[in-house]
């Protein structure tokens, strides 16, 4: 929503005046209202198509009996569970209303006017939004060139070279959304070692569960002990299937966690969300089943798309950034009319010739592939034979 002439705009802070709101994937109900189509397939927000663990649902339901009370504002049980899961002190765990909340806490604690926030081109949009909202200067560095093994992925050397005395935070997504590209443990270690200790490094691992099999990939929780300026962010929204409950967390040194806690909204994670997250952690079989489904369906999608003559960016996540050419916007709209929601990544993401598609259930992926094939047959989607 944006109002063309908004008197109050002049009253907002300069960062907010220039801010564009985050564009989420289109909700199913919205497409139903707008187009009157039913039987909609949403492959637009990288949610787990299997849903959450039944144990998490049961725990959330049970917790509803207590919602006249405020939640445990310190998240004692959840932080204990996460600390055990990561073999780390609970004092290093900051709970968030989604991992998005952690990104905002970092921005509020460490950024502001006169301070610089670094991130790569095509990086997750919230880094720029959270930084700009608090008045920081955005420093976007070039991504890897097309002939790189990870085209459009983060170029850590460029990010390092852009660090100045005013840089307070750099944001890295591994793997990155919307590209799907990832960084190797070796590249990250070199970067961490080269970044001054007075720069907070955010390592956003929203898709870590899916990424662990990617060549060279290593999850970052262990690095928190070695780099006191590192904040690793995690979420229950993706592989754990709890996007609607809003729960995530940060892992960092106790010193950085203390600062994040100062700007954390009181009671930021609800009672059902805390209960569901604790239960979800105990059901690693569900996570593994979800990761395995993703692996199989990702391979199948790539087989069919490759046979169609399409190409995509390398992905360690549960989504593909697919090159569909200069008519990406029309193709997005045409897919909507067939009841298939994917994600446009032009605009701020600067991936004008791509669409991002989440890996769904087999029948959902079939719907997407069939819709895409029909657009090819109509000549809207041009493919090289
Ligand atoms: C989805 C996503 C998140 C977080 O979402 P939350 O639901 O707020 O946890 C964070 N980073 C990236 C790169 C994502 O794709």
- Relative to the CA of 97, which ligand 1 atom is closest? 8
Say yes or no to pLDDT of 26 above 90: no
- The residue among 37 and 44 whose pLDDT is bigger is 44
CA of 7 to the centre of ligand 1 (A): 33
Q: Which of 239, 258, 282 is the last residue of a domain?
A: 282
User: Confidence class of residue 385 from pLDDT cuts 50, 70 and 90?
Assistant: low
Say yes or no to pLDDT of 62 above 90: yes
Closest-CA residue, ligand 1 atom 6, reads 98
Say yes or no to pLDDT of 1 above 60: no
How many domains does the chain divide into? 2
- Relative to the CA of 204, which ligand 1 atom is closest? 11
CA of 241 to the centre of ligand 1 (A): 12
Say yes or no to pLDDT of 2 above 70: no
Q: Residue 123: what pLDDT?
A: 98
User: Confidence class of residue 25 from pLDDT cuts 50, 70 and 90?
Assistant: confident
Q: Which of 258, 282, 306 is the last residue of a domain?
A: 282
Per the DSSP assignment, residues forming a β-bridge with 221 are: none
**Cα separation of 4 and 8, whole Å?**
11
- Relative to the CA of 235, which ligand 1 atom is closest? 9
Do both 103 and 163 map to the same domain?
Answer: yes
Residue with tokens 């569960």: 209
**Cα separation of 286 and 293, whole Å?**
11
DSSP character string of 172-212: EESS-TTT-----HHHHHHHHHHS-TTSEEEEE-TTHHHHT
- The residue among 35 and 64 whose pLDDT is bigger is 64
- Relative to the CA of 178, which ligand 1 atom is closest? 15
Q: Residue 269: what pLDDT?
A: 98
Q: Dump pLDDT digits (tens) for 178-225.
A: 999 999 999 999 999 999 999 999 999 999 999 999 999 999 999 999
Its pTM stands at 0.96
Q: Dump pLDDT digits (tens) for 81-127.
A: 999 999 999 999 999 999 999 999 999 999 999 999 999 999 999 99
Say yes or no to pLDDT of 37 above 90: no
CA of 97 to the centre of ligand 1 (A): 11
Residue with tokens 């460490």: 110
Closest-CA residue, ligand 1 atom 1, reads 206
Say yes or no to pLDDT of 66 above 60: yes
Do both 228 and 329 map to the same domain?
Answer: no
CA of 375 to the centre of ligand 1 (A): 30
User: Confidence class of residue 4 from pLDDT cuts 50, 70 and 90?
Assistant: low
Contact status, residue 75 vs residue 376, Cβ threshold 8 Å: no
* 342 domain residue, yes or no: yes
Report the alpha-carbon angle 249-256-156, nearest 5. 80
Do both 263 and 346 map to the same domain?
Answer: no
Average pLDDT over residues 32-60: 94
Do both 181 and 309 map to the same domain?
Answer: no
Do both 274 and 296 map to the same domain?
Answer: no
Q: Residue 329: what pLDDT?
A: 96
Question: What percent of the chain clears pLDDT 90, i.e. is strictly above it?
Answer: 91
* 10 domain residue, yes or no: no
* 6 domain residue, yes or no: no
CA of 385 to the centre of ligand 1 (A): 36
**What rounded mean pLDDT belongs to the chain?**
96
Q: Dump pLDDT digits (tens) for 142-182.
A: 999 999 999 999 999 999 999 999 999 999 999 999 999 99
CA of 99 to the centre of ligand 1 (A): 6
Closest-CA residue, ligand 1 atom 12, reads 206
- Relative to the CA of 246, which ligand 1 atom is closest? 7
Q: Residue 382: what pLDDT?
A: 87
**Cα separation of 158 and 195, whole Å?**
12
Q: Is the shortest distance between the CB of 235 and ligand 1 below 6 Å?
A: yes
Closest-CA residue, ligand 1 atom 3, reads 206
- Relative to the CA of 247, which ligand 1 atom is closest? 9
Q: Is the shortest distance between the CB of 173 and ligand 1 below 6 Å?
A: yes
Q: Which of 250, 267, 282 is the last residue of a domain?
A: 282
Q: Residue 175: what pLDDT?
A: 98
Number of other residues whose CB lies within 10 A of the CB of residue 350: 13
Say yes or no to pLDDT of 7 above 90: no
Closest-CA residue, ligand 1 atom 11, reads 206
Report the alpha-carbon angle 57-58-59, nearest 5. 90
Q: Dump pLDDT digits (tens) for 302-350.
A: 999 999 999 999 999 999 999 999 999 999 999 999 999 999 999 999 9
Q: Is the shortest distance between the CB of 98 and ligand 1 below 6 Å?
A: yes
Q: Is the shortest distance between the CB of 124 and ligand 1 below 6 Å?
A: yes
Q: Is the shortest distance between the CB of 237 and ligand 1 below 6 Å?
A: yes
Q: Which domain holds residue 114?
A: 54-282
Q: Is the shortest distance between the CB of 243 and ligand 1 below 6 Å?
A: yes
Do both 204 and 250 map to the same domain?
Answer: yes
Do both 73 and 179 map to the same domain?
Answer: yes
CATH number assigned to the domain comprising residue 67:
3.40.640.10
Q: Is the shortest distance between the CB of 177 and ligand 1 below 6 Å?
A: yes
């Amino acid at each position: 929503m944006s109002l063309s002439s908004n008197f109050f705009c002049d009253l907002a802070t300069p960062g907010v005046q220039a801010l564009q709101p985050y564009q989420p994937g289109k909700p199913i109900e919205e497409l139903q209202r707008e187009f009157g189509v039913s039987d909609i397939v949403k492959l637009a927000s990288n949610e787990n198509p299997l849903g959450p663990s039944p144990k998490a649902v049961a725990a959330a339901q049970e917790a509803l009996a207590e919602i006249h009370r405020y939640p445990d504002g310190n998240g004692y049980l959840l932080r204990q569970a996460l600390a055990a899961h990561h073999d780390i002190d609970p004092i290093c765990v900051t709970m968030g209303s989604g991992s998005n909340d952690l990104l905002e806490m970092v921005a509020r604690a460490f950024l502001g006017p006169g301070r610089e926030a670094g991130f790569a081109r095509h990086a997750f949009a919230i880094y720029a939004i959270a930084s700009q909202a608090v008045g920081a200067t955005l420093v976007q560095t070039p991504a890897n060139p097309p002939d790189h093994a990870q085209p459009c992925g983060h170029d850590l050397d460029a990010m390092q070279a852009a660090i100045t005395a005013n840089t307070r935070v750099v944001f890295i997504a591994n793997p990155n959304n919307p590209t799907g590209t990832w960084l190797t443990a070796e590249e990250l270690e070199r970067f961490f070692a080269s970044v001054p200790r007075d720069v907070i490094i955010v390592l956003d691992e929203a898709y870590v569960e899916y990424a662990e099999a990617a060549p060279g990939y290593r999850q970052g929780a262990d690095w928190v002990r070695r780099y006191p300026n590192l904040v690793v962010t995690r979420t229950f929204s993706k592989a754990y299937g709890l996007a609607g409950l809003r729960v995530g967390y940060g892992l960092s040194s106790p010193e950085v966690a203390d600062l994040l806690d100062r700007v954390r909204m009181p009671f930021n994670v609800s009672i059902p969300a805390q209960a569901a997250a604790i239960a979800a952690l105990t059901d690693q079989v569900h996570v593994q089943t979800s990761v395995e489904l993703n692996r199989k369906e990702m391979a199948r999608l790539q087989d069919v798309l490759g046979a169609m003559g399409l190409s995509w960016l390398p992905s360690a996540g549960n989504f593909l950034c697919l090159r569909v050419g200069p008519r990406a916007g029309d193709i997005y709209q045409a897919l909507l009319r067939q009841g298939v929601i994917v994600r446009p990544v032009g605009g701020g993401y600067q991936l004008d010739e791509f669409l991002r598609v989440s890996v769904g259930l087999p029948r959902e992926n079939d719907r997407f592939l069939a819709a895409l094939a029909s657009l090819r047959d109509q000549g809207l989607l041009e493919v090289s034979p």
